[in-house]
Amino acid sequence: MQNPPEALEAQIRVVLAEPNPLVVSALGMCFKGDQRFRLVATTESGADILAMPEEDMDVVVLSWQLSDMTAPDVLRALKARQSKLRTTIFSNSRDLGHVRQAVRLGALGYCYQFDDPSVLFDTLHAVANGRLCVPYIDVTQINDTPLAHLTVRERELLAVLARGWTNQQIANRTGISENTVKYHLKNLYDKLDVRNRAMAVAVYSREAED
C-alpha cells in the first residue's frame, strides 16, 4: 500500500554520504522501514554534497571520511557559503575532539556507526527540526576546551604569540615589562598544560582550524 501524497511530502528527505557500500545498503533498508524519512540520494563524495541543490534535501548524513574529503572539509565549505543545510555526522569514532570540531563547524547531529539505527533516526528527526542532538555525550563538554578557560587578556596574548611576536615586542606594544610578559606566559602555559610557546601556538591553531 502506497503512502498518500500528504505523507510523502511530510517525510524528511535524507541524503547519505558514505563510502562503504555495505553501510549504504544496510542503512537503505533501515530507512525503508521508518516512514518518517525518505532516502533521496546516496553518494561517497563530499563534492557531490556541495554540488546538490539544498532545496532538494532536508538533512545530510556525512561519514567522517568520504572518498574525496573529510566531513570537516564539507562542513567548512558549507559554513563558508553560509549554508542553512542541516547535517549529521555518522562516524566510527566517539572521539570528543571530533564531536567538538563537527559542532563548531555547524553540524547539528553526531552519531556512532555501531549504535542501534534507531539512535541515528531519532537524531535525524531532531536535527531536521533544528535541534542539536549528540547521543550519549554531555553537550556541555563540547565547548569545554583549553581556550575556554583563558581570560580575555590571555586569549589576546595567545593570538600575538601565534603571529610570531617576541616577549620584547609584546612588552613594547602593551606597555608592560618583559618580566611581566614572562609571568603571563607561564600562567598561560599552565592553563593550556603545555611547556612552551610552540606548543601553545599549536593548541591555538587547532582551535582556529575548527
More confident position, 66 or 193: 66
Q: Where are the domains of the chain?
A: 12-141, 152-209
Mean pLDDT of 109-127: 95
Sign of the alpha-carbon dihedral angle for 115, 91, 52, 44: negative
CATH number of 152-209: 1.10.10.10
The one-letter amino acid code at 127 reads V
Rg value, the chain, Cα: 22
pLDDT tens digit sequence for 154-208? 888 999 999 999 999 999 988 899 999 999 999 899 888 889 999 988 888 877 6
Nearest C-alpha neighbor of 210 from the set 106, 101, 134 = 101
Q: Which CATH architecture has domain 12-141?
A: 3-Layer(aba) Sandwich (3.40)
pLDDT at site 1: 42
pLDDT at site 111: 96
Q: Are 56 and 31 in contact (CB under 8 A)?
A: no
